[in-house]
A and B are shown apart, each in its own frame.
Chain A
Amino acid sequence: MTDGERHDRIVAALVADAAPVRRLRPGRLFAFWLLVLAAVLAAFLPRRRPDLAPALARPAFLADVLLLAGAGIAAAWLALRAALPDRPVHAAVDAVVLATGAVGIALFATGAPAPAATLTSFVAKGAVCAVLSLVMAALPWALLVAVERRGAPTRPLRAGLFAGAAALFAAAAGMRLGCAADDPVHLLVWHAGPVVLGVAGSAALGRAWLARWWLSGRGPAPAGGASPAP
């Protein structure tokens, strides 16, 4: 068989499988993700700290929340764009987004130290915060990864990293609104710890799950078919 005949056979197989597809649209997906994030934060707001109003009047606290929320939202946009193979990657933009989140984390160190507590009390209280952070981040993270798996990411580690950063920076912002503790050690261990570990874990999962999408057997969503996201 000649190269031309082989090409014709391959084309015949692909054309036979060419049903209409639902395009992956990052703008709509981003809007949907923001709605989901708002719903998740609203579900946790009843747990807000009792001194929230005076805390928000403190510039460092307000900056902390805004930086973390802003970094999370920007990271979500980058994660969604990472699902498309032709979107340019700007290292400077990546660095600014991650640095914004890092500064938000660093501002944890400016909180008022708490009186010394027992190790048991420190761990018991802190573990609740760590678990809540991860629970709050779970659905926003899963949505971003689902979009990336449906897409065609050409930098899978980066895609996973920004999915994790988006969910966990946003969750960290939510936790600042919900957790009354301002002690730097508590914040750095139990609020920053899940962020750092979670972003690293998400990057590793991205590298494992998102690399070889064309061999997974998953196809694009059919046009007109049911889909959980626009």
Chain B
Amino acid sequence: MERAQLMARVQAGDREAYRALLDDLRPLVTAFAARHTRDAAAADDLYQEVLLALHRARHTYDPARPFEPWLFGIARHVAADHARRQARRGRWEVVVDEVPDVAGASEGGGMRALEQALAALPPAQREAVELLRLEGLSLEQAAARTGATPGALKVRVHRAYRMLRRLLGGST
């Protein structure tokens, strides 16, 4: 089925059509993210943001028009914003020594959403959160376990918490 037709069904609430469309778009969005970022972690971030933006903008698509210009209009805008934030982060990112608590983790009603959100993180970010928060390791212990430097772990946790805030903020 054409992507435009799938998207029309998505707008009507057809979840199977949505799953099929997102699966179909995976190689396109993956390649796009890889072209517009410098490393795998940033490409993962961008990939997730493009899918989230597509999800939030699905009511703006007109099924009578081609799908790809709509998709890439969104993707280019998200990529440009991502690049600006990457550049700003390089100048002033503050990596905290104390890893903050994850909001809602102790509330039963939020656990399922938190688990889903954690599962959606890139592997390196999820591992950092699991080692530092769930297993309670120190930065040095976690660094020794993963082979990464403490500084790199702090960056991964910082990015993971930012993505968790977005995912949990949109579903609560």
Q: With an 8 A cutoff between CB atoms, is A92 at the interface?
A: no
Closest B residue to A25 by CB, please name it.
Answer: B62
Given the complex, which residues of B lie within 8 Å of A84, measured CB to CB? 60, 62
B73 touches A154 (CB 8 A): yes
8 smallest beta-carbon distances between A and B, as pairs: A220-B59, A20-B13, A214-B53, A152-B57, A85-B73, A86-B70, A154-B77, A21-B59
21 contacts between A and B (CB under 8 A): A9-B120, A10-B48, A10-B120, A13-B167, A18-B10, A18-B18, A18-B55, A18-B58, A21-B11, A21-B13, A24-B60, A86-B62, A86-B66, A86-B69, A86-B73, A151-B57, A152-B77, A211-B81, A214-B55, A215-B166, A220-B58
Size class of the B contact interface (CB-based, 8 Å): 35 or more
Closest A residue to B115 by CB, please name it.
Answer: A9
Q: With an 8 A cutoff between CB atoms, is A228 at the interface?
A: no
Q: With an 8 A cutoff between CB atoms, is B117 at the interface?
A: yes
A17 touches B55 (CB 8 A): yes
A217 touches B26 (CB 8 A): no
Given the complex, which residues of A lie within 8 Å of B18, measured CB to CB? 14-15, 18
Q: With an 8 A cutoff between CB atoms, is B5 at the interface?
A: no
Q: With an 8 A cutoff between CB atoms, is A113 at the interface?
A: no
Which of A13, A17, A85, A223 is in CB contact (< 8 Å) with B57? A85
Chain A positions 32-87 with a Cβ under 8 Å from a chain B Cβ: 83-86
Q: With an 8 A cutoff between CB atoms, is A93 at the interface?
A: no
Query: Could you tell me which B residues sit within 8 Å of A by CB distance?
Result: 10-13, 15, 18-19, 22-23, 26, 30, 44, 48-49, 51-53, 55-62, 65-66, 69-70, 73-74, 76-78, 81, 116-117, 119-123, 126, 166-167, 169-171
Closest B residue to A84 by CB, please name it.
Answer: B60
The listed residue with most A CB atoms (<10 A of its CB), out of B12, B73, B116, is B73
Given the complex, which residues of A lie within 8 Å of B48, measured CB to CB? 10
B56 touches A218 (CB 8 A): yes
A152 touches B56 (CB 8 A): yes
A23 touches B55 (CB 8 A): no
Given the complex, which residues of B lie within 8 Å of A16, measured CB to CB? 15
User: For the complex, what is the distance from the CA of A20 to the CA of B166, rounded to whole Å?
Assistant: 22
Q: With an 8 A cutoff between CB atoms, is A125 at the interface?
A: no
Q: With an 8 A cutoff between CB atoms, is A135 at the interface?
A: no
Q: How many residues of A contact B (CB 8 A)?
A: 38
How far does the Cβ of A8 sit from chain B's closest Cβ, in whole Å?
Answer: 9
Q: With an 8 A cutoff between CB atoms, is A112 at the interface?
A: no
B65 touches A9 (CB 8 A): no
Which of A14, A21, A214, A223 is in CB contact (< 8 Å) with B78? A214
Q: When each residue 144-166 of chain A gets 1 if its CB lies under 8 Å from chain B and 0 otherwise, what string results?
A: 00000001101000000000000
How far does the Cβ of B89 sit from chain A's closest Cβ, in whole Å?
Answer: 15
How far does the Cβ of B39 sit from chain A's closest Cβ, in whole Å?
Answer: 15
B170 touches A217 (CB 8 A): yes
B120 touches A6 (CB 8 A): yes
